[in-house]
Amino acid sequence: MPLADPTPGGYFGDFGGLFVPETLVPACLELEQAFRSAWADKAFRRDLDSLLTDYAGRPSPLTSCERLSRELGVAVMLKREDLNHTGSHKINNVLGQALLAKRMGKTRLVAETGAGQHGVATATAAALMGLECVVYMGEIDMHRQELNVFRMRLLGSEVRSATTGSRTLKDAINEAMRDWVASVESTHYCLGSVMGPHPYPWMVRTLHEVIGREAREQCAARLNGDGCDGLPDVVAACVGGGSNAIGIFSGFAGTRTELVGVEPAGGAALNRGAPGVVHGSKSFLLQDEWGQVREAESISAGLDYPGVGPEHSALASAGLARYEVVTDEQVIDAFVLLSKTEGIIPALEPAHALAWVVRDRDLLAGKTVLVNLSGRGDKDVGQMIELLR
Ligand SMILES: *Cc1c(COP(=O)(O)O)cnc(C)c1O
């Protein structure tokens, strides 16, 4: 049984929906219609598949980690989204949305970015397709991620600083939505994760399902020995908004494989939040005692989001997936361990998923665990120089 689709109102169980200003309701409905029709159109799917293959480098490999597995007593395999163009899974979503924007006759993209990874991916797709592009980024993040600001500008995009509130990701999302309200005729809002108002959580999931489809086939081919059913015992992925996790989960939903999402201690919306509405949908959310959104804070800027995609809230509530929390120290150790044992420097985000495997290795002894390696660590080595001195 694949993951369930949302209700016509955009609900996964009790979560999701369409909580936007009235002016944006028609835009969201138009987007849903446009995506449904594009997804049913063979020519659109063929164009997207060609981009994913010839531009982004899909399919991404599946790597069995011999030395790491021996060290942990757990058979670890990695889905190598780090090897995609621009260095993470984000390109899957962005190429799909940019192609859709063109089909809708839009000439301009707006996007939000925290660490800059989604901004760089969007700027990349805009350059490829000749679209104008404005990326909103919190003022503080612009200072923390100077190199990505430069990359986006080099790719021909404009980067605008969000100077309100905490001047980080959640403020950048507010600014991008404000821009979209005022420019919806010409502009598509290229949202970066499985969050926001309907149809985004469902559309972004659909665009990342390629990760799960490939992984399922690769596992079937790899795990086909005596008495083996071709499935890993566990699939683990880090959860910020939750797009790389839902992408790989989609390939294994309804099977015996256990689905595990891993949250950072400072941004554990599912483990330490409560239901609330932010950025267009209802989901678990970090909030203070008065219901105000609380800032997330983790070692990994890509996971610094106080909310989580509504479908993860629904999966958690229904017991269909499990969500664990790891600390920054555990993440640093996992980052070093994978580098030393396998010659792969991971991004700090997927190092969260690895950190959980390392921490719970006794419980996982003898099992096969597939980890979604959502991105590469090049962007994080500067930060690590400071921390590992
Ligand atoms: C952005 C990012 C994430 C977090 O986003 P999700 O929507 O939770 O996947 C995770 N890993 C990498 C490498 C990222 O760039």
CA 146 to chain centre: 22
- pLDDT (tens digit, 9 = 90+) per residue, 7-51? 999 999 999 999 999 999 999 999 999 999 999 999 999 999 999
Q: How many residues does the chain have?
A: 389
Cα–Cα distance between 204 and 229 in angstroms, integer? 30
**Nearest ligand 1 atom, CA 243:** 7
pLDDT tier at 224, thresholds 50, 70, 90: confident
Residues catalogued as catalytic: 65, 89
User: Ligand 1, atom 14: nearest CA belongs to which residue?
Assistant: 302
- Helix/strand/coil percentages in the chain, nearest 5: 50, 20, 30
Whether residue 242 has its Cβ less than 6 Å from ligand 1: yes
How is domain 12-51+90-189 classified at the CATH fold level?
Rossmann fold (3.40.50)
Distance 182 CA to ligand 1 centre (A): 28
- pLDDT (tens digit, 9 = 90+) per residue, 67-89? 999 999 999 999 999 999 999 99
pLDDT tier at 3, thresholds 50, 70, 90: very high
Domains 12-51+90-189 and 57-88+209-387 share a fold: yes
- Find the angle CA(29)-CA(317)-CA(96) to the nearest 5 degrees: 35
Average pLDDT, the chain: 96
* Residue found under tokens 């090897």: 83
pLDDT tier at 124, thresholds 50, 70, 90: very high
CB 369 within 8 A of CB 77: yes
User: Ligand 1, atom 4: nearest CA belongs to which residue?
Assistant: 240
Distance 93 CA to ligand 1 centre (A): 11
The candidate with the shortest Cα–Cα distance to 302, out of 78, 152, 56, 88, is: 88
- pLDDT (tens digit, 9 = 90+) per residue, 151-193? 999 999 999 999 988 888 999 999 999 999 999 999 999 999 9
Q: What pLDDT is recorded for position 301? A: 81
Q: What is the mean pLDDT of residues 102-116?
A: 96
Q: What is the mean pLDDT of residues 214-232?
A: 93
Domain chopping of the chain, boundaries? 12-51+90-189, 57-88+209-387
Q: What is the mean pLDDT of residues 314-323?
A: 98
Element (H, E) at 79: strand 75-80
Cα–Cα distance between 204 and 375 in angstroms, integer? 17
- Best residue among 90, 206, 311 to mutate for probing ligand 1's pocket (most ligand atoms within 8 Å of CB) is 90
Cα–Cα distance between 378 and 355 in angstroms, integer? 19
Distance 282 CA to ligand 1 centre (A): 20
User: Which three-class secondary structure state does DSSP give residue 221?
Assistant: helix
Cα–Cα distance between 90 and 77 in angstroms, integer? 20
The candidate with the shortest Cα–Cα distance to 173, out of 149, 159, 151, 189, is: 189
CB 158 within 8 A of CB 83: no
**Nearest ligand 1 atom, CA 193:** 7
How is domain 57-88+209-387 classified at the CATH fold level?
Rossmann fold (3.40.50)
Whether residue 299 has its Cβ less than 6 Å from ligand 1: no
